[in-house]
Amino acid sequence: MGLPVLAKKVKKLASSRILNLKALLNGENSSRGFAKFRKNYKLKGEIGRGGFGIVYRAVRLSDEMPVAVKFIDRRGIKEWGKISDEQVPMEIVMLARCAKIEGVIRLLEWFQIPEGYLIVMERPFPSMDMFDLIKAHGKLDEDIAAFLMRQIVETIQACAEKRVLHRDLKDENIVIDLVTGETKLIDFGAATVLKKSHYTDFQGTRLYCPPEWFLHSLYLGKEAAVWSLGVLLYNSVNGRLPFRNEKDICTAHLLGPLPFYSPVSAEARDLISRCLHFDPFSRCSLEEMLAHPWLRRDRPSWTTLATRLDSLSSPSTATENKENIDQDEDHSEELEEIADWPDTQVKERVKMPEQTDESGVGSSHDNHTDAHPSKRECRTAKTSLLVPPSSQEMKEVVSAAKTKSSLHSSSQPIVVALRPRRVRAAAPDADSRSPPVLTALRSALSRERKLLTKV
Ligand SMILES: Nc1ncnc2c1ncn2[C@@H]1O[C@H](COP(=O)(O)OP(=O)(O)OP(=O)(O)O)[C@@H](O)[C@H]1O
């Protein structure tokens, strides 16, 4: 059985198992951990899901605080750690270590149930993840990208000081508070203790992964993080990822500078190229990133930037993305009985299998130039099922790319990267022409007004 087929089967299996947990959450199999959870929180709809977990929107009953609840399946937990002598998933240990870091989502508490763990986190309201923000606008205005990136780099640096390495930096894992513009790093499912020596395991997202992993099956923590930040930055200002697969990641440097598909300032290009340096020892450091003029430059406030976001939204993108904003309308009655939901109504963030060759190596023809973006909208987000290519395969790729680079004409774009696609249930919407950020803010304000009148 080929790897992609195997990966699909495992994901399908995991996903069908996760769906059965709706029954568990409604008390049919209720355990002590969950009974305690039910007493304090009210579960609402689903926000997203990955290979071994689902994230739900919920509220804390004592003060109506919006929270997010992540269920992680015990069988998908790869690394464990300890908190006061209790064995818990590393995800919880790492989140707890970062509790005081502004740019990291705040862990409120966790519950153990026989099937896994429920992690309760703060949920900025209204919020949107960076993937949805980029998707809503095609790409980000450089002021907005820099405003967000500066916070993200500072957060990664603060995590490093706590000896936490996130290992899955990507647009989907950055939640943006739409009122303040603050970024919150989420999903510490691949995180581990930051060490000085190299790592030989990886569970993050492969399109954000540095070449040394594919070439040598090892990487250094901070150097790999800087690479991922470079991918994120390129993605923000371009609206697409720089690399399509491992082959692109390992050989793009042989083919000249990365192509840009929209006007991007020389300063931004410079920072991107410093982060995406093939040699990890020549890559810039986190400190150098923060000292770079593109990140240091004074930028307008979030209030100004948010209006720019709205004026950029076309009615169609606004319609498509309005549903992705966490608006927290009170659907509590209909959402309480999650088990009754037909699966088609669940707002899915299903990861589609990538349509390029999965291993990314050894393909006989390179299709950088003849790529049809429409054919490659999908990607597999997690690399957990990815086996590193053999060194023989990589040698073939590198030698093929060297031959190609001598033939390469600079007038041809060499990398056509894909935008990931997520499947979502379409929601009927009366106010579909409002730009998403504005609509979310309006709804937040009206909710606040309602609360004030109650008082
Ligand atoms: N605390 C939060 N506040 C708001 N939204 C959140 C929060 N946590 C998660 N989300 C939303 O849920 C989505 C999935 O969360 P998360 O990445 O933690 O799940 P996952 O199961 O690990 O997914 P993946 O397998 O893709 O990494 C995020 O992209 C984000 O949009």
Q: What's the confidence (pLDDT) of residue 426?
A: 29
pLDDT band at 338 (very low <50, low <70, confident <90, very high): very low
Q: Which atom of ligand 1 is nearest to the CA of 351?
A: 26
- Bigger pLDDT: 291 or 347? 291
pLDDT band at 11 (very low <50, low <70, confident <90, very high): low
Q: Which of 168, 171, 177, 187 is catalytic?
A: 168
pLDDT band at 206 (very low <50, low <70, confident <90, very high): very high
Indicate the pairing of strand 41-49 with strand 183-185.
unpaired
Share of the chain above pLDDT 90, in %: 54
Q: What's the confidence (pLDDT) of residue 432?
A: 39
Return the residue whose CA atom lies nearest to atom 14 of ligand 1.
48
- What is the best residue among 11, 21, 41, 55 to mutate for testing ligand 1's pocket, by most ligand atoms within 8 Å of CB? 55
- Bigger pLDDT: 204 or 155? 155
78 assigned ligand-binding residue: no
Which residues are near ligand 1 (CB < 6 Å)? 47-51, 53, 55, 68, 70, 105, 121, 123, 127, 129, 172-173, 175, 186-187, 189, 326, 381-382
Distances (CA, A) of 158 to 73, 101, 154, 209, 370: 29, 7, 6, 21, 42
E strands, 114-247, where? Answer: 116-122, 127-129, 164-165, 174-177, 183-185, 192-193
- Residues 124, 163: Cα–Cα separation, whole Å: 25
- The pair of structure tokens assigned to 74 is 């015990």
pLDDT band at 53 (very low <50, low <70, confident <90, very high): confident
- What is the best residue among 186, 324, 349, 378 to mutate for testing ligand 1's pocket, by most ligand atoms within 8 Å of CB? 186
Averaged pLDDT score across all residues of the chain? 74
Least confident of 103-107, 362-366, 402-406: 362-366
Q: What's the confidence (pLDDT) of residue 309?
A: 82
Contacts of 326 (CB under 8 A, 6+ apart): 47, 57, 66, 123, 124, 125, 126, 127, 128, 440
The pLDDT tens digits for 367-425 are 333 333 333 333 333 223 233 444 555 455 445 444 433 333 333 322 223 333 322 22
- Residues 150, 152: Cα–Cα separation, whole Å: 5
Q: What's the confidence (pLDDT) of residue 382?
A: 28
Q: What's the confidence (pLDDT) of residue 50?
A: 73
Q: What's the confidence (pLDDT) of residue 392?
A: 54
For residue 177, list its beta bridge partners.
127
DSSP symbols for 33-44: HHHHHHHHEEEE
For residue 422, list its beta bridge partners.
351
Q: Which residue has the tokens 């009974």?
A: 35
**Terminal alpha carbon distance of the chain:** 62
Q: Can 270 be counted among the known catalytic residues?
A: no
271 neighbors 295 (Cβ within 8 angstroms): yes
Return the residue whose CA atom lies nearest to atom 2 of ligand 1.
123
Strand, helix or coil for residue 270: helix
DSSP symbols for 13-58: HHHHHHHHHHHHHTTTT--HHHHHHHHHEEEEEEEEE-SSEEEEEE
- Residues 200, 220: Cα–Cα separation, whole Å: 9
**Mean pLDDT value of segment 159-169:** 98
367 neighbors 11 (Cβ within 8 angstroms): no
Q: What's the confidence (pLDDT) of residue 423?
A: 26
Return the residue whose CA atom lies nearest to atom 21 of ligand 1.
50
Share of the chain above pLDDT 70, in %: 60
Q: What's the confidence (pLDDT) of residue 8?
A: 55
The pLDDT tens digits for 254-300 are 999 999 988 999 999 999 999 999 999 999 999 999 999 999 999 99
Least confident of 178-182, 206-210, 256-260: 256-260
The pLDDT tens digits for 106-139 are 999 999 998 899 999 999 999 999 999 999 999 9
**Residue 102 C-alpha to ligand 1 middle, in angstroms?**
18
Q: Which residue has the tokens 């568990």?
A: 24
**Residue 187 C-alpha to ligand 1 middle, in angstroms?**
6
**Residue 349 C-alpha to ligand 1 middle, in angstroms?**
10
Q: Is the predicted pLDDT of residue 4 greater than 60, yes or no? A: no
E strands, 74-146, where? Answer: 80-83, 86-89, 107-113, 116-122, 127-129
Closest CA to 194 of 228, 169, 229, 157: 157
- Residues 226, 149: Cα–Cα separation, whole Å: 12
